[in-house]
Chain A
Amino acid sequence: MSRSQTPSDAAPKSCRQCSEDLPEAMTRRGLCYECTRVQDFRRPIENHHPFGRYNGAVEAITVEIPGNWHRVLNARANERPPILKRPGDNPLHQIASAVAALGEAVATFADFARRQQWPEWAAKLADRFAAAADSASTWLLVLAGRLDDRLGPEWRRDLDLPLWEI
């Protein structure tokens, strides 16, 4: 992956070849990420791990998406709190992580819809879902903390809950 911009760079605003101007997609070469991949004789498409790579089961789930939008999604995922990046074996953490990933995908979809000049309702609807997903993942994490405090770390076994699977 090409190195992203640092604050001291005189940041090129758009790609010299395709005029792409997604800030997350711009590289130091003055090209967007997809164009740098093409220049290096690689495919502009990449495999995206929508639910992260914190264990083998979720790592196996991939979707092919354009490289530029892959970088946008990764930038959003990097802003998550550490507990959503590495949720461990707590099912509520894992569900919160999946809900956060859903919110990030929907927020990216809203950006995509605006850039493609799709009808405004599509982007607005996506924004609403993204906000709801963000709130839900936070609430699930708070619930996980409360259950841990009140019922102890083995509450899942005590309640005889099934495993959560994607």
Chain B
Amino acid sequence: MGNMKPPPTTLPTATRAWCLRDPLTAAGHITHSSPILLRTPRERPKRFIALHTESAETTTTLAQGFEGERRAADGQGLFFGCAVIGETRNWRVRREVIFYPDDLPRADLAVLRQYINDRTFPRGARPRNEGDPAPDLIWRDERRVVAQLLPLSRFLKLFYLVAHADRELVVGFDLASHLSRLATDWHEVKKGANVGAWHLDLCTYRVAPTGKIRPDRWRPGIIINRKTADVVFIEFAGYYRGEFLDPANLARGLTGRHWTLSEALAAFTGEVMDKATEPCRLTCDALDHCRAKLRGTLSLTGTLIELFDQLHPVSRGARGRLSETHVYSPGGLARSYLDAAGFSAPTVPEDRLGPCAGALFGPWAEVQVRDRLPLVHVDFRRDYQTVFLLQRLQDLLAAERLEFVDDTQAVRAFVDSHRRQSTGPSDIPAA
């Protein structure tokens, strides 16, 4: 009992925040205080690489009665996948790659080869002289698309060439899960801005003398940082962060709700997805379904980006500052609009962030129901708007920076006068 700490004492101090208006430039434009939003995003890349993978294990593999029916799998490892490369101008596909793990059994590899042989034409005759190029393959139903069958190690070289060296757009519905299936090694990030995130090593090599596997230093890993259930930040670990676009994020940002691929396709493009086949058995149907999902993802991405450019002038496609790869919620869109109007987060001294957070009182009310119920936001007294106006919070938004000065006496006088005016001294006991 001797170690009991005394109760914390409340210091009788108060502060007031003074808002400093943003100075206007000579041209009359408002200067932006936020360095993040000041950065103009790159133009939309001219090409894209979109991918979709199938994992070797699903929940049914472990279910009673299904054991041993499917191929033995290591967790959620890659079974096979499809990727397409094309142009963002019209979302036309130029090249399609079906890739598979380097250690895929011969029987499954034969299925893949048969699938490609049955559905493609060789574009040209076999080389007759040394140095003549071998003909490539084109799909019979899409003669402008070159088809390739590659092991994962070779596909990753192509992926890094397009996504990292050429800095093109990487697209995938639920992209984080597809990228994680390409990884050969992973670990938790221990320091830096992404502490707690997952670091995926896609390309590795074996050091000759020791036999240890090391990550490829020229092809940096991918960091997957899950902020909330639906918000996952994806970036390359090197100096170039990459352009990763998950159309699920963009759909959520535009509509404020969660969408599955089939729901989003039906709502935005009118396409209907076929029912899922057995993804754990490598069949022609499974390959067709995987390719159809990828094409659906592309169609959805094209439609969503077109909507984004048309509806939101802050989009980089409409000469705005917001990249479609950074849209995760309607709040992000609203923030970008505020930024475009000159309202951005003011600079706050770092030693004031803690006291400000401590002074925050946020009421919370919830009803726990295990279902999705229709919900109507009923703020019938316009509390938030009233508070926003009465507190003159727009001044805070428009401020370039916040300065904190010790103003205890004035705040005490204000509180005392407020008590006497509104409730009277008899209602509230004196401090």
Contact = CB atoms under 8 A, between A and B. Distances in A.
Interface in A1-56: 7-8
A147 B122 CA distance: 11
A88 B143 contact: no
B125 A145 contact: yes
Interface stretch (B96-104, B126-134, B273-281): B126-134
B123 to A, nearest CB: 4
B166 A145 contact: no
A145 to B, nearest CB: 4
B196 interface: no
Interface residues of A, number: 24
B123 A82 contact: no
B325 to A, nearest CB: 15
24 contacts: A7-B165, A8-B167, A81-B133, A81-B136, A81-B146, A82-B134, A82-B136, A83-B133, A83-B134, A83-B135, A85-B133, A88-B127, A88-B129, A88-B132, A92-B125, A93-B125, A96-B124, A138-B138, A138-B144, A141-B123, A141-B135, A142-B123, A145-B125, A145-B135
B126 A148 contact: yes
Contacts of B121: 142, 145-146
A144 B123 CA distance: 8
Contacts of B125: 90, 92-93, 144-145, 147-148, 153
Interface string B157-168: 000000001110
A76 to B, nearest CB: 14
A138 B123 contact: yes
Contacts of B124: 81, 83, 90, 93, 96, 141, 144-145
A92 B122 CA distance: 14
Contacts of A83: 123-124, 133-136
Contacts of B132: 86, 88
A7 B166 contact: yes
Interface string A108-132: 0000000000000000000000000
Interface in B102-123: 121-123
B419 to A, nearest CB: 60
A55 to B, nearest CB: 12
A81 to B, nearest CB: 6
Contacts of B165: 7
Nearest to A137: B123
Given A83-B133, A142-B121, A145-B121, A7 B128 contact: no
Contacts of A142: 121-123, 138, 143
A145 B128 contact: no
A62 interface: no
Contacts of A145: 121-126, 135
Nearest to B126: A148
Given A8-B167, A82-B133, 15 more contacts: A8-B240, A81-B124, A81-B133, A81-B136, A82-B134, A83-B134, A86-B132, A88-B129, A90-B124, A141-B123, A145-B123, A145-B125, A145-B135, A146-B121, A148-B126
Given A7-B167, A86-B132, A138-B143, A81 B123 contact: yes
A135 interface: yes
Interface in B325-369: none
A88 B128 contact: yes
Contacts of B122: 142, 145
A89 B133 contact: no
Contacts of A144: 124-125
Contacts of A146: 121
A89 B129 CA distance: 9
Interface string B407-427: 000000000000000000000
A92 B128 CA distance: 14
B121 to A, nearest CB: 5
A88 B129 CA distance: 8
B133 A86 contact: yes
Interface string A69-92: 000000000000111011011101
